[in-house]
């Protein structure tokens, strides 16, 4: 009985699908009738294929032009060329993006015969042995795929050949799409995978009336695969996942509210979509990381400070390759301490002082990602609060293990000063307390006393190197030692790349967890191999994700010469990106330079069509209420145009609006996905406008008028491409001066934007430099009113060679100790 009922339900579902197919066919008939009336609606298969092949050939041929210019690294080719070197040399690297796109770039470079020996630097010419033209040529093929994919998407949502051709032509003739998609970047791969995902989702939707068919399963699996690819290239692919998710949810809701379908049908449709989309995309995503770590087996130089020691120790060729040290730590041991949060680095100090104009002028304590054993080593000592003494661990006595809950003092081995915090504000993060080095030859007191608390372990647990993370809680100030990967100290008075270390009373802050990443505890005898403390393959994947997420958060806005752009600037082309420049004539100063700038004509045309879409929706709603006697074909045409623009508008907004909520540094190329969808909306709107104008033509030859309007629109787009072609490849002249070839055309489209590359608003172009802090207030060095104990000042020219011999010294200033009961 149950089987018969299921068969009956399936038969009913098929009949309902047939009914909907008939309705869809009737709608198509209306559109075709309207098209026949216009003279262009009956789309012959030969014409369709001819347009697609012609646009594809034009895309491939134009993208292969001027690949050799400029003949040096452009913009982020420096980064992705460096990542290519890492893959070809099998060495670890740190980046904020998933690995699939970078592996693809490396694979193309390998196919071009590149051996990974060239050092990619800003402003460096490619040597003869690097076939960069072949590498750019292969990347250009991915860039060329955007044109046919645009054609297919617009055709799928509108079933209008002129709209598909105009949209593809806008993408073909855009200058930034041309330039960006011919470089060694992730963007060609990302954009092609993104459009392939959207195309797959529309094709899957088109087969909704043939549910459970092979084509239905195939397009669903294809879409899930493409979503996995786009997320594996860049995390902005999550926006594409969101757009496809909204589209899927809409289809399921429509299915649930369809009175001709039983409600239970929604359940299998929802389950199947969830399983296929999640499983297939997850397999693709995780496979990219598995391949990533199969290729990268060697550690990179000075890479340990960027990631957790457990992660770094699992690679070959690092300082842990043949190293062994005891699992536990005893007092008197020399250790190096690293923050457990990626990019925070090692706890370090040196002889330089903080400037008195900023904070208390005691010895700098910072964090750094470059390992320098002389500056990173700390001697750990035990503080006895009851007796007011310090166990330095020297001599031949029995080893005393460091345990959770102990009060300790950390003395910098190179300078003899101890880790300290007090009531002065930190140099940059003013709401937190300063951390510095104080006291000569290991002298310390209550302001140099910290309580060590192993995370997740009870009091009394022995501290394990590498494995255990711990907190350092200040005895007097009730704050926690913190490293902040977001805050760099000024280069004028701190070493380049040094980051701020502070003491915060907020236990929920990030960067509070530390671990011992090198342990010299000789009293404990032979230890364990450090490589055995490293994580396995899945542990690497977990750590890698943590590294990437923190790395993305670090990309905050900075004032640099590239002039990052906020999202509101993108649709109006407020400013452009300089991609690189090379002087070709020292006498005249002539340069070959490249810029990232979309075709101004197409950009403003897209903006106009974006604004026209909601106006068309309002007009359609008004006419539906106030003019019921309209031509059914015209009403149906507007409805179809609005439906197409609605889905394309969702794609545009889904890839654009999320950037308004990001604090990271952003550039104009982040608008490229949305820009593609705005070109598609332009094609649909212009095609509809030409049909509407021709429909009102009262004379003969409406077909010719319609064809003339479409041809004029396409010719205008092509003419703008020809006029601005240097922007698509490279520009001859002097950067930041008017270009005699481009400026006459740009003058017609210039409306006050920041385009200093072509001489516009040069007086407002500012190069940002750091503020120099050179005020040293010597009177503060020995001011007893500044804190409970005197600061010990070191002459600024005090070097490592002049330092006194370091020997353990008992702590001083015991008259300042106070019991916990009196605090």
Query: Can you tell me whether residue 321 is helix, strand or coil?
Result: coil
- Report phi then psi at 556, rounded to 5: -85, 165
b/e sequence 617-641, b meaning 16+ C-beta within 10 Å:
beeeeeeeeeeeeeeebebebbebb
124 exposure class (CB count in 10 Å sphere: 0-12, 13-18, 19+): middle
728 exposure class (CB count in 10 Å sphere: 0-12, 13-18, 19+): buried
- Report phi then psi at 222, rounded to 5: -60, -45
Q: How far apart are CA 807 and CA 823, in angstroms?
A: 32
Q: How far apart are CA 591 and CA 588, in angstroms?
A: 9
Q: How far apart are CA 743 and CA 759, in angstroms?
A: 9
Instruction: Output the pTM of the full model.
Output: 0.84
Query: Can you tell me whether residue 773 is helix, strand or coil?
Result: coil
DSSP sequence for 44-86: -HHHHHHHHHHHHHHHHHHHTSSTTSS-B--TTHHHHHHHHHH
DSSP sequence for 181-222: TTSSSSHHHHHHHHHHHHHHHHHHHHTGGGTTSHHHHHHHHH
Nearest residue to 514 (alpha-carbon basis) of 423, 448, 419, 447: 419
- Report phi then psi at 75, rounded to 5: 50, -120
Residues 6+ apart with CB under 8 A from 108: 135, 138, 139
Q: What is the pLDDT of residue 637?
A: 84
Nearest residue to 336 (alpha-carbon basis) of 142, 517, 466: 517
Query: Can you tell me whether residue 416 is helix, strand or coil?
Result: coil
Contact 507, 252 (CB under 8 A): no
- Report phi then psi at 194, rounded to 5: -65, -50
- How many Å is the Cα radius of gyration of the chain? 33
Contact 364, 298 (CB under 8 A): no
Q: What is the pLDDT of residue 729?
A: 94
Q: With a cut of 70, which residues of the chain have pLDDT below it?
A: 1-44, 556-563, 629, 697-700, 765-823
- Report phi then psi at 750, rounded to 5: -80, 130
């Amino acid at each position: 009985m149950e089987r018969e009922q299921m068969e009956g339900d399936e038969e009913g579902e098929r009949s309902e699908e047939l009914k909907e197919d008939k309705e869809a066919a009737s709608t198509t008939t209306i559109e075709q009738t309207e098209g026949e009336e216009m003279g262009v609606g009956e789309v012959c298969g030969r014409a369709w294929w001819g347009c697609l092949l012609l646009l594809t050939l034009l895309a491939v041929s134009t993208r292969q032009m001027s690949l050799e210019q400029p003949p040096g690294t452009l913009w982020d080719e420096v980064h992705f060329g460096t990542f290519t070197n890492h893959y070809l040399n099998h060495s670890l690297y740190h980046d904020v993006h998933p690995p699939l796109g970078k592996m693809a770039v490396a694979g193309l470079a390998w196919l071009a015969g590149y051996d990974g020996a060239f050092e990619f630097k800003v402003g460096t010419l490619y040597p003869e042995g690097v076939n960069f033209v072949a590498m750019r040529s292969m990347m250009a093929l991915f860039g060329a795929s955007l044109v046919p994919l645009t054609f297919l998407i617009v055709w799928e949502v509108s079933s209008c050949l002129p709209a598909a051709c105009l949209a593809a032509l806008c993408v073909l003739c855009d200058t930034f799409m041309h330039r960006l998609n011919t470089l060694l970047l992730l963007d060609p791969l990302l954009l092609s995978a993104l459009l392939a995902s959207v195309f797959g989702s529309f094709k899957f939707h088109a087969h909704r009336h043939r549910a459970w068919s092979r084509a239905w399963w195939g397009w669903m699996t294809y879409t899930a695969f493409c979503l996995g690819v786009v997320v594996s290239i860049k995390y902005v692919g999550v926006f594409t996942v969101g757009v496809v998710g909204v589209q899927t949810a809409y289809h399921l809701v429509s299915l649930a509210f369809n009175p001709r379908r039983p409600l239970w049908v929604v359940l299998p449709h929802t389950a199947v979509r969830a399983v296929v989309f999640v499983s297939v995309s997850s397999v693709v995503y995780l496979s990219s990381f598995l391949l990533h770590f199969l290729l990268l087996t060697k550690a990179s130089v000075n890479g340990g400070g960027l990631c957790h020691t457990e992660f770094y120790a699992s690679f070959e060729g690092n300082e842990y390759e043949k190293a062994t040290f005891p699992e536990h730590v005893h007092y008197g041991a020399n250790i190096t301490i690293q923050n457990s949060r990626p990019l925070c680095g090692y706890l370090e100090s040196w002889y330089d002082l903080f400037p008195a104009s900023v904070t208390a002028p005691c010895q700098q304590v910072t964090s750094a990602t470059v390992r320098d054993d002389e500056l990173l080593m700390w001697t750990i000592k035990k503080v006895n609060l009851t007796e007011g003494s310090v166990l330095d661990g020297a001599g031949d006595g029995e080893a005393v293990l460091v345990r959770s809950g102990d009060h300790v003092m950390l003395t910098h081995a190179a300078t003899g000063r101890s880790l300290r915090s007090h009531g002065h504000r930190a140099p940059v993060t003013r709401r937190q307390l300063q951390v510095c080095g104080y006291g000569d030859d290991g002298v310390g007191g209550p302001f140099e006393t910290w309580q060590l608390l192993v995370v997740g372990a009870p009091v009394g647990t022995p501290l394990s190197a590498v494995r255990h993370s711990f907190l350092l809680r200040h005895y007097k100030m009730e704050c926690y030692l913190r490293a902040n990967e977001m805050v760099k100290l000024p280069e004028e008075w701190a070493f380049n790349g040094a980051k701020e270390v502070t003491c915060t009373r907020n236990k929920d802050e990030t960067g509070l967890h530390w671990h011992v990443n090198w342990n010299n505890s000789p009293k404990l005898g032979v230890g364990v191999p450090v490589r055995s403390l490293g994580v396995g393959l899945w542990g690497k994947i977990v750590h890698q994700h943590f590294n990437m997420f923190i790395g993305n958060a670090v990309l905050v806005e900075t004032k640099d010469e590239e002039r990052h752009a906020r999202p509101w600037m993108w649709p109006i082309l407020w400013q452009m990106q300089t991609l690189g420049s090379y002087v070709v004539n020292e006498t005249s100063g002539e340069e070959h330079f490249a810029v990232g700038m979309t075709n101004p004509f197409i950009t403003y045309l897209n903006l106009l069509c974006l604004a026209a879409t909601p106006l068309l929706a309002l007009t359609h709603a008004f006419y539906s209420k106030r003019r019921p006697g309209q031509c059914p074909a015209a009403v149906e045409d507007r409805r179809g145009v609005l439906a197409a623009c609605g889905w394309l508008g969702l794609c545009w907004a889904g890839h654009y609006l999320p950037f308004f909520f990001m604090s990271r540094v952003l550039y104009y190329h982040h608008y490229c996905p949305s820009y593609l969808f705005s070109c598609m909306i332009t094609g649909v709107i212009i095609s509809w406008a030409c049909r509407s104008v021709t429909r009102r033509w009262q004379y003969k030859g409406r077909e010719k008028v319609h064809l003339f309007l479409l041809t004029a629109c396409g010719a205008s787009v092509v003419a703008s491409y020809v006029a601005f072609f240097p922007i698509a490849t490279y520009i001859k002249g002097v950067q930041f001066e008017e270009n005699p070839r481009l400026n006459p055309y740009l003058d017609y489209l210039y409306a006050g934007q920041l385009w200093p590359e072509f001489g516009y608003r040069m007086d407002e172009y500012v190069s940002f430099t750091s503020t120099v802090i050179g005020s040293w207030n010597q009177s503060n060095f020995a001011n007893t009113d500044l804190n409970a104990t005197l600061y010990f000042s070191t002459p600024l020219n005090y070097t490592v060679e002049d330092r006194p011999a370091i020997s353990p010294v008992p702590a001083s200033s015991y008259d300042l100790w106070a019991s916990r009961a009196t605090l």
